[in-house]
A and B are shown apart, each in its own frame.
Chain A
């Protein structure tokens, strides 16, 4: 079974990213394929490497990065949503004259077409939001 995952909210304020993460992990454990995790709306905020949660709390973006590395996941932040919210990779920083980038390891920035493509490629698209 090929799942596509959509995350529509940022970390911590809403449970969406946590539920999406647990669902994704459970799907991988069952041997399913995750064709892509697409982050939209405030969901792009899951892809910053600059968050510093308290030590006794989960580190949401790091958790996604580690899962991506372990399972070769494709974590995509919507470019239009990311630009609005100040999430940039090296190319975007250069292109818009920003003095730094903040994208977390394992994430990449790309267009909305990646969401449509994932929904076409997957057997099932599951969305998490608020």
Chain B
């Protein structure tokens, strides 16, 4: 199962709900304002690192670029994908859950 999150974790609880409902082995893709969740040295970094022990986490590159975020600022273990990678992830899984 692919979970997408598009909200900043500093403003909305979508990421928390996603992490509460995500099963081990499911994949998470951070898009739009949720890409801020992928950055180092934040109050939610520990939460993301914990999730990384059970889930693969991806982040949408074009949304990082637009927001001035560079690969060096991204938590180790999170993989950057482009829109084609987003399509591949959606295609590889039985269903897609969009946490708005």
Contacts and interface: CB of A to CB of B under 8 A. Distances in A.
B84 A128 contact: no
Interface of A is mostly: mixed
A126 interface: yes
Interface residues of A, number: 22
A3 interface: yes
Nearest to B60: A19
A3 B96 CA distance: 11
A22 interface: yes
A25 B86 CA distance: 12
Interface residues of B, number: 18
A130 interface: yes
A51 interface: no
B10 interface: no
A26 B87 contact: yes
Given A15-B32, A22-B83, A126 B90 contact: yes
Interface of B: 6, 31-33, 62, 82-84, 86-88, 90-91, 93, 95-96, 98, 100
Closest 8 CB pairs of A and B: A26-B83, A127-B98, A22-B83, A27-B87, A26-B84, A129-B100, A1-B91, A15-B32
